Chains A and B, each alone.
Chain A
Amino acid sequence: MNDSQPDNTGLSRREFLGRSVKAGVAVAAAGGVGAWLVGRADRDVGDEVVRLGDYAAAGMAGRMSIAEGTDRATMLRRSLDAIGGLSAYIQRGQRVLIKVNAAFATAPSQGATSNPDLVAELVRLCLRVGAKDVIVTDNPINDPANCFRLSGIGAAAAGAGAKVVLPKDSYFRPTTVEGGRLIRNWPLLYEPLEGVDRVIGVAPVKDHFRSGASMTMKNWYGLLGGRRNQFHQQIHNTIKELAMMVSPTLVVLDGVQTMTRNGPTGGSPADLKDTRRLVVSTDQVAADAYGATQLLGLSLDDLPYLAKAAEAGVGTTDYQSLKPVAVSVT
């Protein structure tokens, strides 16, 4: 060692202390980050569970009307008048959501989706009684944009003054049906429902191989997201829970034509039959019971979900007990 060379091995005391402090801080910081990460609860990836409210209008339970005819708009107006008028169900300034069936990217003539004229008329009526907003939505099975375009619902609803909401990924929040066993922590199309006061379901009457028929209760399926097809393993309990999930203000069951076969997609005019009925009811079970027995020619026994929903207190399968008002539009 040559003492005369500036020492590049030794350290001055000041430099030593300085470096020691830096090293100490670095070690302590690394240790701190480690200690903070260990034992940290798993990051919460799920959103808060949301629940739908009760959208029924006070004092209007158990109403039902059945119109006969072919002009859906007039039938709807007359039916609503027959059960007290829409203003009895929607107060001025309320926000209304109309859940249509836009499941398939097919033309209105195929009858696989809610009729656009009917939806447009309902939108206009809601606005006329003073609804602040009318939202029309669905989470379809086929490509959503195509469904709303080809079914004619998108243009008809928007033209009548509604806001059409397509189901963006970010609109879904998990929901759990109270008293349910299947729909638990399941993605629900919640964003358009947030802050809504009234919900009206509009559905056609359709043959459905798995469940027997798709009407107003099955229509709520379009509020679910995720890999909802798994629900077909327990379709009847699922439809029951869907009916438990949504307490609508009204349901509109469109049986002017009934898809009697090849449902729920249809695809040919031969799959449709003229049945000339439109049902408006506060009771979705009663409306579907009417559709099953009077329009599709089934028995209540053929649709186990009806009895299940009735047992769960959603409504009654004995639609006659509601003394439905008959309306003729011919």
Chain B
Amino acid sequence: MTIRTARRVTQVFFLVLFLWLCVVSSSGDGFWQRGGWPVNWLLQLDPLVAVGVALAAGTLTVGLLWVLATFVLTVLFGRVFCGWLCPFGTIHQAVGWLGRRRRPLEDRIRLNRYRRWQSAKYYVLGFVLAAAALSALGGWHSSAGSLLTGLLDPIPLVYRSVTLVVLPIVDGGLQRVWITARLADGTVLMGAIFVAAVLANLGIPRFYCRFVCPTGALLGVFSRLTIWRIGRRPEPCTICRLCEKDCEGACNPASDVRSSECVMCVNCIVDCRHDAIAYQVHKSPGEITGPDVSRRGVLVSLVSGLVAVPILRLGGRLTSNWPAGLIRPPGALVEEEFLNRCIKCGQCMRVCPTNVIQPTGAQFGIESLWTPMLNNRIGTSGCQLNCVACGDICPTGAIRPISLDEKLGRGEFADNGPIRLGTAFVDRGRCLPWAMDKPCIVCQENCPVSPKAIFIGEVYQTVRDGVLTVRESAPDRLALAGAAWSEGVWASGDYYVKGVDAPDDDRRRIVQQTSDILRISPERPWSAPPAAGSRVAVQVRLQQPNIDPDKCIGCGVCEHECPVSGLRAIRVTAENESRSPKRSLLL
């Protein structure tokens, strides 16, 4: 087995492992869905995740210590993370190979020559790290840093693209993982970037790795310390450039070897006919170890990163202008801290059993792009009372792992009360019983807390044109002058008739109705029926929903179930969410 075969086997292994981990991070009854898979492992190996979170939040979750393995690997062997492990890199490599396999040798060599623009990724890295590092200075300014690495970090990118774009499309047809089609709002840009990044390989192989990838850049910086490296011996070399025909990193092995660009694909070693290229400890003559960046360029990227977040925050989205529609999952940290940790990997959205956690689109700004938010109109049923899956899976602790006791405010958390995601508000202009005199009350019925956070005001409302004059009456029957109803409209069980000036206990339920006759239950007849010539009113019994903000946890089940299916008549917004005392609603 050549070392190239070993690399290919490793790549296929990690790609399959990645896809498998994406599939299994779902809650279900399949044997493969039960917990225990290291579904975050590749995210934890990603050095930019750990470095970004460490800079922005000043702390790491235990799982992120896997980054040390990546550093050891890089320091020993170079960027094997990129060339051997990274599933996104493997996809690029495969598509790039498809794009160039029929092309003439000189074209292939040309495609794999080093380009000056490959330094762009180092500036991307400088930008996102500077933006994150600003948080470390925090406290002195309300607009401190933010973790923007997730926008372009390849592992979160490939995770969210596969779990939120690719798999929902595949599973929508197969329905092997979920019984209903999974939706993902705000994925247009996400899908476009993924497709563009994959297709770009047809133009230039490993386009994303070479020009954009900030993780590759970070490893490129550290590859300076590498012990073993690719080297060329000028002695047997004829500069035939055959080594460059499949050079993944575009690191010029035939001339000066830019080791920061080398992704350790080892194609050059295998392709060299003259035994001039080797994996060795000493540097070869002319080797360029550091990234090809200018002092001025680095300065520009760092300064841009430092000013970016304060500019983004001029909109006041963390202060007075906070977006009420941005409802975070249960256990999410207070927004500033949340943004310091969320890497936009989409794991919470993938694992959410109801699909209510959705990637935020661009509507709340770049910082919130692809971060999790609840959209109660999507999914099978709001945020489930007995579920803490999102906090359990979050690799960076942006959503804390909480227990059911903590979520529901039981046991040792009884004093804190349940975790509130927001509060439901009734839109009385759209609610059927409030605005249209139609019985409904689905929201109250489905409210899962006990006692229910939705309580009822009962009213009897005279229907439109509902006051009529009695023509004839009997103890259980009225004939009305001028009525011409269709049969049964008042006999659904929700309509009543009473004398206009009579006391309330005069009201009787209508059990049968023809064009001008009303019958009431013979079990409860009138002792003195409304007299002929007097007026009676047909009334509907309405149960009108009201919210008890002390009880509402903002789970969104009511909003999900509201039959006003467009703009719901009861909607949750983030007011009173537990994580932000500043957003409290009540004294």
Do residues A209 and B353 form an inter-chain contact, with CB atoms below 8 A? no
User: Once the chains bind, are B28 and A142 in contact (CB under 8 Å)?
Assistant: no
Once A149-B29, A168-B180, A265-B447 are accepted as A-B contacts, the answer to whether A236 and B494 lie under 8 Å apart by CB is yes
Hey, what's the 0/1 contact readout for B432-455 against A, CB within 8 Å counting as 1? 100000111110111111111000
Identify the stretch in A70-78, A224-232, A248-256 within 8 Å (CB) of chain B at 4 or more residues: A224-232
Q: Given that A209-B444, A265-B448 are contacting pairs, would A105 and B179 also be in contact in the complex, using a CB cutoff of 8 Å? A: no
A104 within 8 A of B: yes
Q: B441: which of A232, A237, A305 is its contact (CB, 8 Å)?
A: A232
Closest beta carbon of chain B to A223's beta carbon, Å? 16
Provide the residues of chain A in CB contact with B509, threshold 8 Å.
Answer: 301, 304
Q: How far is B276's CA from A213's CA once the two chains are assembled, in angstroms? A: 85
A145 touches B179 (CB 8 A): yes
Q: Are A267 and B448 in contact, CB atoms less than 8 angstroms apart?
A: yes
Contact across chains for B432 and A229 when beta carbons are under 8 A apart: no
Complex Cα–Cα for A266 and B441 (A): 16
Task: Map CB proximity to B onto A185-225 as digits: 1 under 8 Å, 0 otherwise.
Answer: 00000000000000000000000111000000000000000
In the bound complex, residues from chain A placing their C-beta under 8 Å from that of B441 are 209-210, 232
Query: 0/1 per residue, B121-146, Cβ < 8 Å to A?
Result: 00000000000000000000000000
Contact indicator A106/B386 (Cβ below 8 Å): yes
Query: Is B448 within 8 A of A145, CB to CB?
Result: no
CB 8 Å contact bits of B564-579 with A (1 = contact, 0 = none): 0100000000000000
Contact with B along A103-121 (1 / 0, CB 8 A): 0111100000000000000
Chain B residues with CB below 8 A from A271, complex form: 450
B299 CB-CB contact with A under 8 Å: no
| Residue with the greatest number of chain B CB neighbours at <10 A, chosen from A208, A234, A304 | A304
Q: Does B557 belong to the interface (CB within 8 Å)?
A: yes
By the criterion CB–CB under 8 Å, are A237 and B493 in contact?
Answer: yes
Whether the pair A150, B511 counts as a contact (CB closer than 8 A) is: no
* B residues 218-261 touching A (CB-CB < 8 Å): none
Question: What residues of chain B lie closer than 8 Å to A87, measured between beta carbons?
Answer: none
Q: Is the CB of B380 within 8 A of A232?
A: no
Q: How far is the CB of B362 from chain A (nearest CB, A)?
A: 28
CB-CB nearest in chain B for A267:
B450
Using CB atoms, name the residue of chain A closest to B172.
A169
Is the C-beta of A233 less than 8 angstroms from some C-beta in chain B?
yes
Count: A-B pairs, CB below 8 Å: 128
B217 to chain A, nearest CB (A): 41
Q: Give A248-285 as 1s and 0s: 1 = Cβ < 8 Å from B's Cβ atoms.
A: 00000000000000111111101100000000000000
Check B450–A304 contact: CB distance below 8 A.
Answer: no
B475 shortest CB reach to chain A, Å: 16
**Is A17 an interface position by the 8 A CB rule?**
no
> With A and B bound together, what is the CA distance between A233 and B385 in angstroms?
27
Asked if B561 lies at the interface with its beta carbon under 8 angstroms from chain A, I say yes
Given A142-B380, A265-B446, the answer on whether A154 and B29 have CB atoms closer than 8 Å is yes
CB distance from B442 to the nearest CB of A (A): 5
Pairwise interchain contact B432-A146, C-beta atoms closer than 8 A? no
The verdict on A233 contacting B381 (CB below 8 Å), with A145-B353, A146-B387, A271-B450 known, is: no
Q: Are B353 and A230 in contact (CB under 8 A)?
A: no
Q: A145-B27, A210-B543, A265-B450 are in contact. Are A105 and B442 (CB under 8 A)?
A: no
Residue of A nearest to B433 (CB): A233
Chain A residue nearest in CB terms to B354:
A143
Chain A's nearest CB lies how many Å from the CB of B336?
Answer: 31
How far is A178 from B445 in the complex, measured between Cα atoms in Å? 29
Complex-state Cα separation, A161 to B468, whole angstroms: 61
Q: A145 and B442: CB pair below 8 A?
A: no
Residues in A whose Cβ lies below 8 Å from that of B379: 143
Interchain CB contact under 8 A, B381 and A142 = yes
Q: Which residues of the other chain, B, contact A308 by a CB distance below 8 angstroms? A: 493
Query: How far apart sit A104 and B446, CA to CA, in the bound complex (Å)?
Result: 9
Q: B563: CB under 8 A from chain A? A: yes
Task: List residues of chain A with CB within 8 A of the CB of B492.
Answer: 234, 236-237, 304
Say whether B384 faces chain A, with CB atoms less than 8 Å apart: yes
Indicate whether A150 sits within 8 Å of B386 (C-beta atoms), given known contacts A142-B380, A145-B27: yes
Once the chains are docked, how many angstroms separate the CA of A105 from the CA of B28?
A: 13
Complex CA–CA separation, A184 to B388 (angstroms): 39
Q: Which residues of B (371-429) have their CB < 8 Å from a CB of A?
A: 379-381, 384-387
- Kindly provide the distance from the CB of B111 to the nearest chain A CB, expressed in whole angstroms: 40
**Contact A141 B384, beta carbon cutoff 8 Å:** no
Interface hits, B516-571 → A, CB 8 Å: 521, 523-524, 543, 557, 561-563, 565
Chain A residue at minimum C-beta to C-beta distance from B352: A143
Q: How far is the CA of A229 from the CA of B557 in the complex (A)?
A: 13
Q: Answer whether residue B175 sits at the interface, using C-beta atoms and an 8 A cutoff.
A: yes
Question: What band does the interface of chain B fall in when counting residues whose beta carbon is under 8 Å from A?
Answer: 35 or more
A259 to chain B, nearest CB (A): 10
Q: Which of B343-362 contact A (CB under 8 A)?
A: 353-354
Tell me, yes or no, whether A174 is within 8 Å of chain B by CB: no
Known: A145-B353, A232-B440, A262-B452. A301 touches B175 (CB 8 A): no
Q: Specify which chain A residues have a CB less than 8 angstroms from the CB of B561 in the assembled complex.
A: 141, 229
CB distance from B485 to the nearest CB of A (A): 15
Using Cβ atoms and an 8 Å threshold, which residues of chain B touch A321?
A: none
* Residue numbers in A under 8 Å from B387 (CB-CB): 105, 146
The answer, yes or no, to whether B170 is at the interface (CB within 8 Å) is no
Q: How far is the CA of A209 from the CA of B452 in the complex (A)?
A: 11
Kindly state the separation between the CA atoms of A263 and B441 in the bound complex, as whole angstroms: 12
Q: Does A69 contact B (CB under 8 A)?
A: no
Residue from the list A168, A267, A304 in contact with B449, Cβ < 8 A: A267
CA distance A267 to B387 in the complex (A): 15
A144 within 8 A of B: yes
A55 to B557, CA, bound (A): 35
Q: In the complex, A254→B409 CA distance in Å?
A: 31
Q: Is the CB–CB distance between A230 and B175 below 8 Å?
A: no
Residues of chain B contacted by A235 (CB below 8 angstroms) = 439, 493-494
Among B438, B543, B563, contact of A209 (Cβ-Cβ < 8 Å): B543
- The smallest C-beta distance from A242 to any residue of chain B, in angstroms, reads 14
Contacts of A4 in B (CB 8 A): none
Contact residues in A for B585 (Cβ distance below 8 Å):
none
Contact of A301 among B29, B452, B521, B562 (CB under 8 A): B521
Shortest distance between the CB of B389 and any CB in chain A (Å)? 10
> Do the beta carbons of A143 and B353 come within 8 Å of each other?
yes
Partner of A229, one of B381, B511, B563: B563
- Closest Cβ of chain B: how far from A163's Cβ, in Å? 13
- What chain B residues lie within 8 Å of A262 (beta carbons)? 450-452
B557 engages A268 (CB within 8 Å): no
Q: How far is the CA of A166 from the CA of B180 in the complex (A)?
A: 10
Q: How far is the CB of B460 from chain A (nearest CB, A)?
A: 16
Across-interface contacts of B180 in A (CB, < 8 A):
168-169
Q: How far is the CB of B504 from chain A (nearest CB, A)?
A: 17
For the complex, is B16 an interface residue (Cβ under 8 Å from A)? Answer: no
The reply to whether the CB of A170 lies closer than 8 angstroms to some CB of chain B is yes
Distance of A183 from chain B, by nearest CB (Å): 14
**CA of A149 to CA of B444 in the docked complex: distance in angstroms?**
24
- Can you report 21 A-B residue pairs in the complex whose CB atoms are below 8 A from each other? A106-B386, A142-B557, A143-B379, A150-B386, A168-B179, A210-B439, A210-B543, A227-B565, A229-B561, A229-B562, A229-B563, A232-B440, A232-B563, A262-B450, A265-B445, A266-B450, A267-B385, A267-B449, A267-B450, A270-B450, A304-B492
Give 7 nearest A-B pairs by CB, closest first: A267-B450, A304-B493, A236-B493, A268-B450, A229-B563, A143-B380, A142-B381
Q: With A232-B442, A233-B440, A307-B511 given, can you name 12 additional A-B contacts, CB distance below 8 Å?
A: A141-B561, A143-B380, A145-B28, A145-B29, A146-B27, A146-B353, A169-B181, A209-B456, A210-B439, A210-B440, A304-B492, A308-B493
A residues neighboring B (CB under 8 Å): 104-107, 141-146, 148-150, 154, 166-170, 208-210, 227, 229-230, 232-237, 262-268, 270-271, 299-301, 304-305, 307-308
